[in-house]
């Protein structure tokens, strides 16, 4: 035990952050030219005004964010001993995006692997990094990079207005100030948010009807996202406050003690509702949804890096991160800067 906390809650600290946003801005007005929607509907129902998109590979965004984090941390790529990448939009089925980044930035001493936990993946990666730090790893680079425009169905007004592209990176190291996390998964909701992989045309075998395999709804073409927004919304509202509350308690504190909360940016109403549920002022929650939209796992590290850039990540502050998404999955973590 240390400071009243169990020793396995000992620590993690942020050594450096970085982010990358593509140059092309898509406004709500732009969507009115391709689907039946309006700026008023999008702002009122989501809080989104614009988002960034790009045709460049996801790993290129990841590398740009990673290099900024390295510069910010004054760390050379060779000092990294692990790279964890989170993405649902990797450019290759194999190898992992983490290995591509490792090679391209010259992090020759780092082991590298990808994590798929959709929009909660950055929190899952923080949890994994925390465990590896306890096993002797010293400098772990987490990169969340998403090229969601590549899997967006631009004929579906209920989803296409939501998503953007971005990458955020964070280098973490050991600390004695504590870290606690709460993760959860509920695969019974898997069919509410998914993108099906296109089937390969295999010779010798009869093509299988995807419906007979996974029982997911046959709602749109393989390769693009489908979401039952209302169902995911209901899950998200409960998961956000549960994860933040329980992670705070596990850390030995309460949500009221959190100085900064960086939530997944899926919908401003979800963030407002979590704030209300936890009895916290909404100003405590970082929001950039108006500028970036939903960039899946990249939302949280981009938020952290933007706060860092603004000088907000000062020592002594307690930070809460919380995400949720396809799986369905959720995760919250709390640590002291």
Chain contacts with ligand UT7 (rule: CB under 6 A): 37, 41-42, 45-46, 119, 157-158, 161, 229-230, 232-233, 236, 266-267, 294, 325
Nearest approach in angstroms of CB 178 to ligand UT7 is: 28
CA dist 257 and 280 (Å) reads 10
Query: Would you call 299 a catalytic residue per the annotation?
Result: no
Nearest approach in angstroms of CB 115 to ligand UT7 is: 16
DSSP track, 322-337? EEEETTTEEEEEEEE-
Q: Pick between residue 132 and residue 233 the one whose CB is nearest to ligand UT7.
A: 233
Query: Would you call 264 a catalytic residue per the annotation?
Result: yes
Nearest approach in angstroms of CB 93 to ligand UT7 is: 22
Nearest approach in angstroms of CB 48 to ligand UT7 is: 9
Q: Pick between residue 27 and residue 76 the one whose CB is nearest to ligand UT7.
A: 27
From the list 170, 264, 292, 333, the catalytic residue is 264
Residue pair 327/189 in contact by the 8 Å Cβ criterion: yes
From the list 85, 99, 119, 160, the catalytic residue is 119
Q: Pick between residue 70 and residue 274 the one whose CB is nearest to ligand UT7.
A: 274
From the list 28, 72, 267, 294, the catalytic residue is 294
CA dist 274 and 277 (Å) reads 5
Query: Would you call 99 a catalytic residue per the annotation?
Result: no
Of the CA atoms within 13 Å of residue 110, those in its CB half-sphere come to 29
CA dist 282 and 112 (Å) reads 37
Instruction: Please identify the residue of the shown chain whose CB is closest to the bound ligand UT7.
Output: 229
Q: Pick between residue 10 and residue 42 the one whose CB is nearest to ligand UT7.
A: 42
Nearest approach in angstroms of CB 214 to ligand UT7 is: 19
CA dist 325 and 327 (Å) reads 6
DSSP track, 65-122? HHHHHHHHHT--GGG--EEEEE-S--S-SSS-HHHHHHHHHT-TT-EEEEE--GGGHH
Could you give phi then psi for residue 89, rounded to 5 degrees?
A: -135, 45
Q: 102: which strand partners?
A: none
Q: Pick between residue 10 and residue 266 the one whose CB is nearest to ligand UT7.
A: 266
Residue pair 75/82 in contact by the 8 Å Cβ criterion: no
| Coil, helix or strand at residue 155 | coil
As annotated, the active-site residues are: 119, 264, 294
């Amino acid at each position: 035990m240390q400071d009243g906390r169990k020793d396995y809650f000992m620590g993690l600290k942020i050594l450096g952050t970085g982010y990358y946003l593509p140059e092309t801005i898509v406004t709500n007005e732009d969507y009115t030219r391709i689907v039946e929607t309006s700026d008023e509907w999008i702002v009122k129902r989501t809080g989104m005004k614009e988002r960034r998109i790009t045709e460049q590979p996801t790993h290129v965004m990841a590398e740009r964010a990673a290099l900024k984090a390295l510069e910010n941390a004054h760390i050379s790529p060779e000092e990294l001993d692990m790279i964890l990448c989170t993405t649902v939009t990797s450019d290759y089925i194999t190898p992992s995006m983490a290995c591509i980044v490792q090679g391209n930035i010259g992090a020759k001493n780092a082991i590298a692997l990808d994590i798929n936990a959709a929009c909660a993946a950055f929190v899952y990666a923080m949890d994994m990094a925390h465990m590896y730090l306890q096993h002797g790893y010293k400098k772990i680079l987490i990169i969340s990079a998403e090229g969601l425009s590549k899997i967006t169905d631009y004929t579906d007004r209920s989803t296409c207005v939501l998503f953007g592209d971005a990458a955020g990176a964070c280098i973490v190291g050991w600390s004695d100030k504590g870290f606690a996390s709460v993760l959860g998964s509920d695969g019974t909701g898997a069919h509410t948010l998914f993108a099906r992989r296109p089937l390969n045309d295999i010779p010798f075998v009869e093509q299988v009807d995807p419906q007979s395999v996974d029982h997911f709804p046959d709602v749109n073409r393989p390769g693009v996202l489908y979401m039952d927004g209302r169902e995911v919304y209901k899950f998200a509202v409960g998961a956000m406050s549960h994860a933040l509350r329980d992670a705070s308690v596990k850390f030995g504190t309460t949500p009221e003690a959190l100085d900064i909360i960086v939530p997944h940016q899926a919908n401003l109403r979800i963030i407002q509702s979590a704030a209300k549920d936890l009895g916290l002022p909404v100003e405590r929650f970082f929001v950039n949804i108006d500028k970036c939209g939903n960039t899946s796992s990249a939302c949280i590290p981009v938020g952290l890096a933007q706060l860092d850039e603004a000088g907000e990540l000062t020592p002594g502050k307690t930070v809460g991160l919380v995400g949720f998404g396809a799986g369905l999955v959720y995760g919250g973590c709390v640590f002291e800067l």
